[in-house]
Amino acid sequence: MSAILPSAASLYDRVRRVIPAIEWSTFLDDIDAILALKRERNAVILAHNYQTPEIFHCVADIVGDSLALARKARSTEADVIVLAGVYFMAETAKLLNPEKTVLIPDLNAGCSLAESITAEDVRLMRQRIPNVPIVTYVNTSAAVKAESDICCTSGNARAVVESLGVPRVIMLPDEYLAKNVAAETNVEILAWKGHCEVHERFAASDIRELRQAHPGIVVLAHPECPPEVVAAADFSGSTAAMSDYVERQKPPRVVLMTECSMSDNVALQHPEIEFIRPCNLCPHMKRITLANIRAALEQNRHIVTIEPAIAGRARLAVERMLAL
Ligand code: 13P
Ligand code: SF4
């Protein structure tokens, strides 16, 4: 006997605290269609923590940070993976599932970090600084990953750097992540000059003002924030680490210095906690909508492909990270 699908209407309780009823009514048709299409196509939706609540809480099968999405992409039995996130995440899912169909609902869902560096830049760097391992943040193209020794995410960057057992590494392309890791390790880190356009806008003065305006507030910052912001925060970690911190510590008042949907998604699970909301939107993450997820499943678009010459080497860099 096949399982009965939940109807969109029955899901509203999950998000009613952040989505007004009038807005919710515009989502019903797409949610019902997506739930049916997932079953028809044996598809799963992997959604990053920055996806909007109607995607994150109502149609996603697997949610998490970049590391969790990469790990869980490997173990799915589905034929089709829809990546509700940005392009590099879809490429990573494809690298780990070469035989499956991986769809990204909007091809222009990019990332300023991935845009900040090319494969040629990495080859030149290797020529100029030979014999120093290159650690590449997953927020890069498959072509850049293919030129590197190992990947990392914000959730494992320090562990990856220290796993290499060398005194010096090159870490690409996020300057701030590299500096934030350098502050925690004895390994010397050579950085590139890429920045996340969302996290670079936070300033240490924002934190000082927040602490004045909201006494007792606990400040969590993503490690893509500038080092002075991370230094002024109470805790820094990947999106999953921030979510776990809230779950574990249950601070009465908290601010997440990161993308806006993250606070909505975490707040829905913790009605007792006061979330203060200065946040920045990621325009790339926000390109993904219920409408284009539905279109992706209906029209089998946009299929992610990676040139075989690149895929083999890029996969190795990702697999080395996952093996740690
Ligand atoms: P996480 O791996 O921490 O989820 O970060 C991904 C990202 O793009 C943050 O801007
Ligand atoms: Fe890229 Fe920053 Fe958007 Fe994350 S938040 S996808 S790092 S631009």
In this prediction, residue 1 carries a pLDDT of 42
Is the pLDDT confidence value at 132 over 70?
A: yes
Which domains, ranges and CATH numbers included, belong to the chain?
9-110+285-299 (3.40.50.10800), 114-196 (3.40.50.10800), 199-276 (3.40.50.10800)
276: left (phi over 0), alpha (psi -120 to 50) or beta: beta
Task: Please report which confidence band the pLDDT of residue 9 belongs to, taking 50, 70 and 90 as the band edges.
Answer: confident
Q: Check if 294 has its Cβ closer than 6 Å to any atom of ligand 2.
A: no
Q: Check if 198 has its Cβ closer than 6 Å to any atom of ligand 2.
A: yes
Question: Lowest-pLDDT range, 61-70, 132-141, 178-187?
Answer: 61-70
Q: Check if 169 has its Cβ closer than 6 Å to any atom of ligand 2.
A: no
d(CA 142, CA 110): 13
| Centroid of ligand 1 to alpha carbon of 115 (angstroms) | 15
Is the pLDDT confidence value at 6 over 80?
A: no
List, in order, residues 6 or more apart from 215 with CB less than 8 Å away. Answer: none
Q: Check if 259 has its Cβ closer than 6 Å to any atom of ligand 2.
A: yes
d(CA 119, CA 125): 10
Report which ligand 2 atom has the smallest distance to the Cα of 174.
7
Indicate the average pLDDT of the chain. 96
| Residue with CA at minimum distance from ligand 2 atom 2 | 196
Report which ligand 2 atom has the smallest distance to the Cα of 111.
1
In this prediction, residue 230 carries a pLDDT of 98
In this prediction, residue 4 carries a pLDDT of 63
What digits encode the pLDDT tens for the residues 233-248? 999 999 999 999 999 9
Q: Which amino acid is at 8?
A: A
Rounded to an integer, the average pLDDT of 60-82 is 93
d(CA 138, CA 196): 13
Handedness of CA 59, 63, 66, 69 (dihedral sign): negative
Q: What are phi and psi of 221, to 5 degrees?
A: -130, 140
In this prediction, residue 3 carries a pLDDT of 58
pTM of the model: 0.95
- Ligand 2 pocket: which of 48, 104, 199 to mutate (most atoms within 8 A of CB): 199
Rounded to an integer, the average pLDDT of 284-299 is 98
Rounded to an integer, the average pLDDT of 50-56 is 97
Is the pLDDT confidence value at 270 over 70?
A: yes
Percent of the chain with pLDDT over 70: 98
Is the pLDDT confidence value at 2 over 60?
A: no
The token pair at 165 is: 């057992």
| Residue with CA at minimum distance from ligand 2 atom 3 | 282
In this prediction, residue 228 carries a pLDDT of 98
In this prediction, residue 278 carries a pLDDT of 80
d(CA 40, CA 35): 9
| Residue with CA at minimum distance from ligand 1 atom 3 | 238
Is the pLDDT confidence value at 164 over 90?
A: yes
| Residue with CA at minimum distance from ligand 2 atom 8 | 111
Task: Please report which confidence band the pLDDT of residue 218 belongs to, taking 50, 70 and 90 as the band edges.
Answer: very high
